[in-house]
Structure formats: C-alpha cells, structure tokens
Amino acid sequence: MKLNIALLPGDGIGPEVLTQAVKCLEAVEESFNHQFVFKKAPVGAIAIDMTGNPLPDQTLALCKEADAVLFGAIGDPKYDNDPKAKVRPEQGLLKLRKELGLFTNIRPVKVFPTLISKSPLKEDIIAGTDFTIYRELTGGIYFGEKKLNDAGTIASDLCEYSEKEISRIAHLAFKAAKNRNNKLTLVDKANVLESSRLWRKVVSKIGESYPEVALDFLFVDNAAMQIILNPSQFDVILTENMFGDIISDEASVIGGSIGLLASASVGDENALFEPIHGSYPQATGKDIANPVASILSAAMLLEHFQLFEEAMAVREAVDKALKKGVVTPDLNPDSKYGTNHVGDFVADNVVDNHDDLNMNDENIGLGKSTII
C-alpha cells in the first residue's frame, strides 16, 4: 500500500516522540513491503515563531492532500500564562481538527499487564480495564461563540450542539461497541445542561437501531469518580468535547503514564493520529519522553487503513519493550533507556519478530544491536 503521511512534529517533545513513531512505520514499510511517503510541516508555537500563524496555509494544505496526519504535540509555556496572547499554539490544532472535519476522537484506555504495578491505583481496581473513549472533537464549548465585554470583566463560551453533530459520532460509537463488548455509556450533565439533554435524546433514538448494544447514561461528575473506582465496568464511553478532554486525561493514570495513551481523530475524509499527552516542555531535548503513545498512534494509523497485521507487529513490539523493561523514566525512574532507545528497540522488533530466547538482554540498551 502507498500512503502519503503528513508529519506535524509541533512543539516540546513532539518532534522526539514523532521520530520514534516514524522509525516504527519505516520498519513496517520494510517488513511488509509498503510505501509510506512522509512530508513534514510546522504547527503550533514553532509555526508562530516562523510565520506568526500556528497553522500556516501550507501546513493545512499538506494535511488535506495527505492520506493521514501524524501529529506530535502542541503548546509552549510562554503562551500558557499570558491571557493577553492573541495567537496561541493550541489554536493551530483546533483549527486543524475543524478544517479537516475530524469530529470523532478515539482514545483507547487499556492496562498493560506488565505495567499494572506502575499505576497509582490499586491493582485489583484497574485489572481488566479496557475501554475506549469516543470524544466529540469539533463542536461544543471549544468552538462556540466566545465573548468578553469591553471592560474585560465578563466572559462566556457557548456550548452548542446540533442533532447532526451528535448523531454522526454516536453512530461510530455504537458500531465500536458492537465490535467490542456491546456496552455504550453516554457521559453528560443532563441534570443541568440543555445541550446534554439533546445528547441523551439523540443518542437514545439512535440506540434503537443498535438493539444488541446496552446503552446507559452517567453524569460526568459521577463518571469521573467511576473511572477511578471501577474502570473495568466501561466498554465504550461517548461524550462531548470538553468532558472527553478531561476524563481522558483522568483515565490515563489507570495505565501508569499519560505517555502511553494514543488517539485517532477521524472524519468523513481525513484522519489524524496523535498521543493524548501535551508538549511536556520540561523534558524537551532530554531524551526522556515516553514515545509509546506516539508509536501506538502510528499503530492506530495502520489499523485505520486495515493494515491489522502490521499494527499488531507494532503493538507486539511495544509489549516486548514493556516486558523487557525497555522503558523511559516515567515508567521506571531507574531506567537507563531514553526516548531514542525505546524507539529503536520497538522498530527493531517490528522488523524481526524475534522470540525472547534469541534476545541478548545485556545488549538491549544498545538499540540497534539488541538482537543476537
């Protein structure tokens, strides 16, 4: 298969982790005889520095032409605490999502058995966790009208949803539940918000066409609690933009590190793959950022194009790295491995799916020469 992939490294650790994902895709190319053509473009703070625009026209055009976009991370502290900043890196990502029509963000949350002890939560609580969040991505409070009065003393952000915006993602979420364990939980705040009541109405109606899927509802405050108390009760969670943003960060602690969670953002015509973590500026250039979320985002890209065997090769190579302790310091503070080593190890194991018996543990840290 030939795929044109736009690479948007972005800010902070984005370029470092994206490089590891690209290594893995190149390993897939080599092992499975595909052709991936990569083209890179700036987005975020780096794009503001270069052009004044967090999403330059050429970057957007490249993404629109590409079959898929692989995204690093966005954000820079110099903008975070400046309420007066007119241009912000995040605007680049939000505009990209909107322009590409990426209305569904899919965030799988799964406990890796080898990492179960790394989670701050008790093992018996998180064992068996395997759910997917379907987060609406191009509507709601993120994109509603924003107002600030002339005196700068009153501000508002409108949370607006149409039936159409709800139903297109709801269908995808029901289909996902059908392919998984037939359970869908709508997370909302229908006891307070009119927009949530519309979500309930539309999703309930659509649910009639998916009789095999058990649909239930949870207020977002309760959901936040249930995700920590009993995460294995969930199969597919469907929710609006901001609730999804918040509960997916919360859910990331289940697996032990936010550096493990990948995501796919899909629309009718485009698809973008990115880790859920941010740009982690404190770690930039230190070779300590966890590349797993970015690598698993590349696996989701492969799955999007039905390249299931290829995606499995990447996932198995990641599992092997975790099992062998080839991890970054967020997962093991004493680890001697950095971002690059983890990327090399995973890519090497995609090319050659060696069994453990042939692996020289002594040489794991040497990256390319891990295999004897």
Q: Which is nearer to ligand IPM, 140 or 343 (CB)?
A: 140
Our answer to whether residue 330 is catalytic in this structure is: no
Residue 330 interacts with Mn ion (CB under 5 A): yes or no: no
Nearest partner of 9 among 98, 88, 92, judged by Cα: 92
Decide which of ligand IPM, Mn ion, none touches 90; Cβ closer than 5 to 8 Å per partner kind: ligand IPM
Q: Which is nearer to ligand IPM, 102 or 347 (CB)?
A: 102
Footprint of ligand IPM on this chain (CB under 6 A)? 74-75, 90, 93-94, 245, 276
Pairing relationship of beta strands 214-219 and 271-275 according to DSSP bridges? unpaired
Smallest distance, ligand IPM to C-beta of residue 264, A: 12
Q: Choose the stretch contacting Mn ion; rule: CB under 5 A; options: 98-106, 132-140, 195-203, 237-245.
A: 237-245
* Residue that is written with structure tokens 């970015």 in the block: 294
Nearest partner of 229 among 251, 209, 210, 246, judged by Cα: 251
Token reading at 223: 């959901």
Selected catalytic residue, list 67, 130, 249, 319 = 249
Q: What are the phi and psi torsion angles at 354 (to 5°)? A: -70, 150
Smallest distance, ligand IPM to C-beta of residue 187, A: 15
Our answer to whether residue 221 is catalytic in this structure is: yes
Cα–Cα dist 283/225, whole Å? 30
Give the residue closest to ligand IPM by C-beta: 90
Q: Which is nearer to ligand IPM, 29 or 160 (CB)?
A: 160
Rg (CA), the chain: 21
Our answer to whether residue 189 is catalytic in this structure is: yes
* Residue that is written with structure tokens 């039905």 in the block: 306
Nearest partner of 339 among 278, 279, 372, 295, judged by Cα: 295
Residue 245 interacts with Mn ion (CB under 5 A): yes or no: yes
Q: What are the phi and psi torsion angles at 309 (to 5°)? A: -65, -40
Smallest distance, ligand IPM to C-beta of residue 79, A: 11
Catalog residues that contact Mn ion under the rule CB under 5 A.
245
Catalytic residues: 142, 189, 221, 245, 249
